[in-house]
Amino acid sequence: MSCDTLLAFGEITRIDLIKVAYFLVALYLSISVHEAAHAWMANRCGDDTARLMGRMTLNPIVHIDPIGTVLMPLLMVITPLLMPGGGLGIPLFGWAKPVPVNPLRFRDMRKGEVLVSLAGPVSNFILAAGALAACWIVIAALGAASSGMVGRIGEMVLLFLTSLMMLNLVLGLFNLIPIPPLDGSHILGVFLSREAAAKLERFLVPPLNFIILIFVVLPVVRPVFWLVSRAADYLIWIWWL
C-alpha cells in the first residue's frame, strides 16, 4: 500500500469517526430526552415511580442499556466503515432502558397510557424542531464568515445539529410504529378491546417482535424515513443558499 493511499485512508477514517462521534452524542441526548419525557408525563399523570427511581432526568447514564444503547449503535455505525462497499446495509437499531410505569397509579388509566406513550415521540419531534431552528440561527450568524476558522467551526456545529435533527425525526416516527415494545403499541392498545390487545401482546413477543421490526417493518418504512430526512435537510440548506 502506497504512502498516498495510507494518508487518504487515514483522512477518510478521521472524518468518518468525527461523524460517528457526533451521531453518538446526538443519540444519547435524544434517548435521554425521550425517556425523561416518559417519566415526566407519568409523574404528571399520577405515577411517580420513575421519578422516585431517578429516571426523570436528562443524565444519559441512568437511561443507557449496555447492549441496546452502546453495543448495537456502535456496531451499526462502525460496521459500514470497516466492510468493503459500505457494509451490509443493516438498519440502525437500538434501545434504552425502559422507564418503569405503573398505569394503576394514573388518575385516568387510559388517558395516562396515551399521554405517557406519546410523550417520548413528541419530545423527539420538539428536539428535531429545536435543532432545525438552531441550524437557521447558526447559518444566519455565520453570514459572510463562511471561510476560515469561524466557517469550519460553523460547519462542525451544523453537522452536529443536522445529525440531531435527522435522528430525532427518525426516532419519533419509529417509536410510533404499533409493535411492542415501541410506544405506538401502547397507544394502539388503548383503542383496542381488551381481548384484541391481549391477543396482540401474546403474539408479538420476543424474539418475533424484533424479527418483524428488523426484517419486515424497517425495510418498508425506511424510504419514508429517508424522504422525511431529505425534506428536513432541504429546509436547512435552502436557508443557507
Question: Which residue, 119, 71, 125, is CA-closest to 96?
Answer: 71
195 is catalytic: no
Which whole-number Å values give the CA distances from 105 to 37, 44, 116, 132, 185, in the listed order?
18, 11, 13, 37, 20
Residue with cell string 383496542: 192
Residue 187, helix vs strand vs coil: helix
The residue length of the chain stands at: 241
Chain centre distance of CA 28:
9
20/163 Cα distance (integer angstroms): 10
**Number of Cβ within a 10 Å radius of residue 158:** 18
Which of the residues 35, 113, 155, 201 is marked catalytic? Answer: 35
The residues annotated with a catalytic role in the active site are: 35
